[in-house]
Amino acid sequence: MKVYDFNVLSQNGEEVSLSKYEGKVLLIVNTATKCGFTPQYDALEAMYEELNEKGFEILDFPCDQFFHQAPGTDEEINQVCSLRFNTKFTRFKKCEVRGDKAIPLYKWLITQNEKGKAKAIKWNFTKFLINKEGDVVARFEPTAKPESFIDKVKEELDK
């Protein structure tokens, strides 16, 4: 299975096939607008602006599962991200990323590790790096700042 095999919901609820990102390097992130890690939006946007033309995309999945730190509607979340952090990367519909109600994409992502056993999402801003073939090549926990792994992203883009 590859990331391209999944469909997700756009902010307005339309089904989107991730196959539209085939051949690109992706960073999939579960986010929240009222979290201690929310300032990472600035670094994520800087990375996106620097690398987007080289085939890099950030896929933002707002999630309200961790102490309700992503309150509001999808439109309200988008306004905060657009106005406060000036983000331009793609944001999808708010979803669940852990537990029985997690969307299928996240149920798959958490199993993509060397042991193949599910490793739950612990908090907001867990990041998955996907190579051009659609495979997870790295997972970065919430404390990992984007500037700490930009070289890994560039390495994948150069392949």
Active site residues: 35
CA-based nearest residue to 127, from 34, 46, 28: 28
Strand locations in the chain (E): 7-9, 15-17, 25-31, 56-62, 90-91, 127-130, 136-140
